[in-house]
């Protein structure tokens, strides 16, 4: 919660280091009444607490990292591998990176530790790598969570991660057309056959008013079965130009 608040503050302040601004403000101290001893102690405690609250960290290793030009720190960034050539854009079923190391850690941090602010660096990574590839789409459809999973997590990571890409492409971020109509088990740990049956019929889509070009987006691709099942539902509803993209892919 506090980190989500910090992410919000950073967003409002346009990526400035808010902690720095707080300290600057404190050191510039305009003339005025000096606080008493307890006031100083309280001020220091508050400042220490704020500095903890406002420490920006690398999404991969969670160590302090404040360079807004690179989403991951200098140690983590070189460990992020491009997806295998057979899966890379401009294939219609594509993934950008390998799900491993700091990238996998950051996605797990977001999904299983409630760290929604990690969406910001991941969205930036996705946008930088995906914006040229996904140049001709009218809408991005993030894989929906089942309502019970959404209630548990509080957010859909794919929606948050895809938002800056949609903005960069001038595409609509569409969270209404595709619905998950039954819960599924996590794909990881299932055999290929079981993965297919796990997600078959898991999605339903509304018939489009216009036959837009659609990019279906998921944060992690395990076997491709989830994205394929979502694409099938969109095709059955009447969409014709459908591509799929994952930020990260599991490599066996």
Percentage helix, strand, coil for the chain under 3-state DSSP, each rounded to 5: 45, 15, 40
Does position 125 bind Zn ion by CB under 5 A? Answer: no
**What's the min distance (Å) between Cβ of 244 and Zn ion?**
29
**What's the min distance (Å) between Cβ of 109 and Zn ion?**
11
Does position 58 bind Zn ion by CB under 5 A? Answer: yes
Q: Which of 90, 66, 61 is nearest to 6 (CA)?
A: 66
Q: What gap in Å lies between CA 181 and CA 179, rounded to an integer?
A: 6
Does position 66 bind Zn ion by CB under 5 A? Answer: no
Does position 73 bind Zn ion by CB under 5 A? Answer: yes
Does position 71 bind Zn ion by CB under 5 A? Answer: no
Q: What gap in Å lies between CA 12 and CA 29, rounded to an integer?
A: 24
* Site size toward Zn ion, by CB under 5 A: 5
**What's the min distance (Å) between Cβ of 66 and Zn ion?**
12
**What's the min distance (Å) between Cβ of 105 and Zn ion?**
9
Does position 60 bind Zn ion by CB under 5 A? Answer: yes
Vertex 137 angle, CA 108 and 237, to 5°: 85
For residue 19, the Cα-to-chain-centroid distance in whole angstroms is 24
Does position 80 bind Zn ion by CB under 5 A? Answer: no
38-46, 60-68, 181-189, 229-237 -> range binding Zn ion (CB under 5 A) = 60-68
Contacts of 169 (CB under 8 A, 6+ apart): 131, 134, 135, 137, 140
Q: For residues 60 and 164, which CB has a smaller minimum distance to Zn ion in the complex? A: 60
Q: For residues 60 and 224, which CB has a smaller minimum distance to Zn ion in the complex? A: 60
Q: For residues 73 and 129, which CB has a smaller minimum distance to Zn ion in the complex? A: 73
For residue 70, the Cα-to-chain-centroid distance in whole angstroms is 15
Binding site for Zn ion (CB under 5 A): 58, 60-61, 73, 76
């Amino acid at each position: 919660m506090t980190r989500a608040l910090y992410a919000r503050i950073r967003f409002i302040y346009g990526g400035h280091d808010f902690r720095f601004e707080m300290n600057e403000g404190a050191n510039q101290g305009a003339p005025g009444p000096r606080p008493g001893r307890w006031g100083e102690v309280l001020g220091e405690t508050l400042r220490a607490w704020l500095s903890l609250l406002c420490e920006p960290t690398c999404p991969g290793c969670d160590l302090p990292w404040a360079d807004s030009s690179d989403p991951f720190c200098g140690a983590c960034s070189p460990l992020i591998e491009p997806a295998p050539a057979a899966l890379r854009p401009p294939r219609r079923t594509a993934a950008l990176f390998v799900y491993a190391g700091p990238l996998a850690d950051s996605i797990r941090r977001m999904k299983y530790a409630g760290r929604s602010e990690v969406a910001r660096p991941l969205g930036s990574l996705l946008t930088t790598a995906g914006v040229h590839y996904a140049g001709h789409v009218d809408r991005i459809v993030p894989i929906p969570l089942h309502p019970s999973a959404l209630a548990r997590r509080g957010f859909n990571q794919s929606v948050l991660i895809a938002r800056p890409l949609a903005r960069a492409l001038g595409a609509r971020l569409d969270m209404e057309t595709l619905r998950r109509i039954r819960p599924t088990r996590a794909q990881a740990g299932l055999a290929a056959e079981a993965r297919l049956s796990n997600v078959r019929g898991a999605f339903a889509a509304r018939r489009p008013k216009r036959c837009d070009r659609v990019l279906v987006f998921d944060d992690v691709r395990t076997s491709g079965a989830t994205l394929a099942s979502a694409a099938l539902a969109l095709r059955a509803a009447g969409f014709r130009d459908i591509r799929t993209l994952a930020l990260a892919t599991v490599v066996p």
